[in-house]
Structure 1
């Protein structure tokens, strides 16, 4: 019977899943600790890394976890791979919850890339004033570019490319607000990741309205053979079926 569930979180989907399961199941939500003031889910919460696959395997055993749901950010590839290996070692049920990626629409000028370095290379020919929304840990890739950068993140970055202006903000964002921001800073190209989040999709609509190119980093693939769903309801039902509930 599935009674104790580890939810690898940090996303809105992870918080909603904890709400759906609590208090019918014991839910322990794990946050990476990269955001200084995260939105906390209901139930038990742990913050910080596990120490790789071996550390996670030991933690799952010590805490008598019955199932693991990975609802981390779509680009948290190392955590997903570690969770897949640790649960395989222990024979634990493992599910990845990933919201769908963004879909290109008429009028979009999207340029897909497979790495952050490819994104920096693509920017060279697309514009001079760049709106970076890739997260504060990827800014190093743009350090060598002679461009003007508008950087938006939840927490202040440790390092910035030259000629950068920082905006500290957290979604959801509005289309009107994004249009105003892009015009105010005279942005002519946007760089982002295919997070699929509805909280940040407004920048893509704003870019479409303004005719701006968008460089989008593709998601890393999931580990081979891993079960995955796209909605919180599907993840909840997976847990409940595993427990023998109605």
Structure 2
């Protein structure tokens, strides 16, 4: 029975780290082995408490094999809201291995008075919309999916990410390597310094990266917001506390 009390957290987010910390500090009765899996896309990730593995499983079949081998009792998918492929693999793997799955996903952002949001469904749609919205773009979607913007030679981009992009990038681009959270004051100063007239972001939700939205509202700038993909898992919660209670219930 002890071997089956393995909880796999598909992580890389602050919520995943918080959940791991809670389960390690106050494990359910009988104890639990917490294993956090990171995709390995960031060279210097912030590691959570408990055990950590880095790198892919080899798709849904590889993840299902890992769950069987380690006799996993539960999986919590706490990956980024836009990690659609990983989430879909988790659904398929847990179904194949007969392991309960929970999706932990914080709520998306809500538009407020004074906001000028233009919602789109993808990076490609955002790139197609930009020429009619602004000319100096603050691109805050990270180092992935930069290719759709590469052909926009008439626009200037400030790209902020933790690590340099590996895909094609716009010709007129300045790269800013930085890790949040950022204050509203710093975001306002940054946008003014670079004469930004439009912001592009993914609807990641949470407070760590929301300061740019407050800054854009203060400066009356339009924001192109890329909407999230649909949730693949049947069971989904919005908070770390709810996920902790779900794990305790599964392990009872």
Fold equivalence (TM over 0.5): yes
Deviation at 1:219, TM superposition (A): 0.2
Look up the match of 2:16: 14
> Which of 161, 186, 204 is matched with 2:170 structurally?
161
C-alpha deviation, 1:243, in angstroms: 1.6
User: Is 1:98 matched with 2:105?
Assistant: yes
Cα deviation 1:84-107 (Å, max 9, x = unaligned): 011011221100000000000000
Match of 1:38 in 2: 45
- Measured in 1, the distance between the counterparts of 2:144 and 2:237 equals 27
Q: Distance in 1 between matches of 2:216 and 2:107?
A: 20
Moved over 6 A (4+): none
TM-score w.r.t. length of structure 1: 0.97
CA distance in 1, matches of 2:198, 2:229: 23
Task: Tell me, in whole angstroms, the C-alpha distance in 2 between the residues paired with 1:240 and 1:3.
Answer: 11
Superposed, 1:66-85 pairs within 5 Å as 66-85=73-92
- The match for 2:56 is 49
Q: 1:172 aligns with which of 162, 178, 181?
A: 181
3-state SS of 2:82 partner? coil
Matched, 1:226 2:234: yes
Residues 99-154 of structure 1, C-alpha deviation per residue, up to 9 Å, x if partnerless? 00000000000000001100001111000000001121111100111200000000
Distance 1:162 1:108 in 2: 29
- Matched residue, 1:28: 35
Q: Distance in 2 between matches of 1:82 and 1:243?
A: 23
Output the CA distance in 1 between the equivalents of 2:207 and 2:246: 24
Q: 2:145 aligns with which of 116, 138, 149?
A: 138
Pairwise CA distance, 1:241: 1.1
From 144, 158, 173, give the equivalent of 1:150.
158
CA-based RMSD = 1.0
**3-state SS in 2 of match to 1:130:** strand
Shift of 1:237: 0.3
- 2:15 and 2:220 map into 1 onto residues whose CA distance is 31
Q: Which moved more, 1:159-168 or 1:71-80?
A: 159-168
Find the aligned partners of 2:5 and 2:60 in 1 and give their Cα distance.
23
Trace 1:202-241 onto structure 2 (pairs within 5 A): 202-223=211-232, 226-241=234-249
SS of match in other structure, 1:22? helix
Q: How many Å separate the matches in 1 of 2:211 and 2:179?
A: 13
Distance 2:212 2:69 in 1: 44
